[in-house]
Amino acid sequence: MDLLLRDKVIIVTGGAKGIGLGIVEVLAKEKAIPVIIGRDEADNLAALNKIKQAGSEGFQVVAELSKPEECKQAVDVTLKQFGKIEGLVNNAGINDGVGLEHGNYQLFMESLHNNLVHYYLMAHFALASLKKTKGSIVNIGSKTAETGQGNTSAYAASNGGRNALTREWAVELLPYEIRVNSIIVAECYTPLYESWIKTFPKPEEKLKAITGKIPFEKRMTTAEEIANTAAFLLSEKSSHTTGQLIHVDGGYVHLDRAIS
């Protein structure tokens, strides 16, 4: 299916690795122009080179998104390069394990800045251009806001905020015909996820136990599956879809995981 994304400039935060890279690669295949925003220039360039070697166009901006001024700079540099922004994917973040019992105020606030505040800032700074292009926003979220996980208060709170902002922005931006949706991720195998699995004494057994509870096909969601949905939500093919929290999770959140 041609999603009609050719030459559309779409910012992807955290676009150098994991789910973000998956989204960048799918957008590139659709002939869009993904703009990779990330803190590590080497990672950004590696991702950019990957899509360029496949014959696609892209761009990268180095930014530490926990700093408001760098969020603004990332948008300004993109506009200077292309003169427009037609889509924003808020994706960057990390499940940093800031819990209630063993966390503290400083760590909690730092986690909110790492996982939630830049979602607001990137949308805020990109909004003027998105209004002109009638662009779309896709927020990447996590099941933790709905299911809980334990020992991750800040990350769960951030994802609750992501869900709320998705609905709030969908309402606020109706007059500008800007659609806002969220993709909720449960278990997706990324480099960060792999690093987490390796912290257990028996990583392979832990991974098997987790995948065994995923209702559909007993397997992890792939970054490409999330990316395909993101590309659809950014495209005109989803022209009457807004304010939705779409779970791409093999039924993890809403189906009974006791199903054998």
Please determine, for residue 129, whether its predicted confidence score (pLDDT) is greater than 90: yes
Q: Do 15 and 36 form a contact (C-beta atoms < 8 A)?
A: yes
Q: Say what the pLDDT of residue 208 is.
A: 96
Q: Say what the pLDDT of residue 192 is.
A: 86
Report d(CA 89, CA 173) in Å as an integer.
16
Mean pLDDT score, 131-159: 98
Q: How high is the mean pLDDT of the chain? A: 97
Burial of 35 (0-12, 13-18, 19+ CB in 10 A): buried
Q: Do 187 and 149 form a contact (C-beta atoms < 8 A)?
A: no
Q: Say what the pLDDT of residue 1 is.
A: 75
DSSP letter string over 60-76? EEE--TTSHHHHHHHHH
Report d(CA 252, CA 260) in Å as an integer.
13
DSSP letter string over 186-236? SSB--HHHHHHHTTSSSHHHHHHHHHTT-TTTTSPBPHHHHHHHHHHHHSG
Element (H, E) at 181: strand 179-185
Please determine, for residue 257, whether its predicted confidence score (pLDDT) is greater than 80: no
DSSP letter string over 12-56? EETTTSHHHHHHHHHHHHTT-EEEEEES-HHHHHHHHHHHHHTT-
pTM metric for this prediction? 0.97
pLDDT per residue as tens digits for the range 65-102: 999 999 999 999 999 999 999 999 999 999 999 999 99
Please determine, for residue 175, whether its predicted confidence score (pLDDT) is greater than 90: yes
pLDDT per residue as tens digits for the range 186-232: 999 998 899 989 999 999 999 999 999 999 999 999 999 999 999 99
First and final C-alpha spacing in the chain: 35
* Residues annotated as part of the active site: 155
Helix, strand, or coil (residue 8): coil
- Joined together, the tokens standing for residue 70 give 């760098």
Please determine, for residue 121, whether its predicted confidence score (pLDDT) is greater than 90: yes
For the packed helices 18-29 and 223-234, what is the interaxial angle rounded to 10 degrees? 50
Model confidence at 14, pLDDT cuts 50, 70, 90, reads very high
pLDDT per residue as tens digits for the range 48-57: 999 999 999 9
Burial of 211 (0-12, 13-18, 19+ CB in 10 A): middle
Q: Say what the pLDDT of residue 219 is.
A: 97
Please determine, for residue 233, whether its predicted confidence score (pLDDT) is greater than 90: yes
3-state helix, strand, coil in the chain (%, to 5): 50, 15, 35
Mean pLDDT score, 27-31: 98
Model confidence at 260, pLDDT cuts 50, 70, 90, reads low
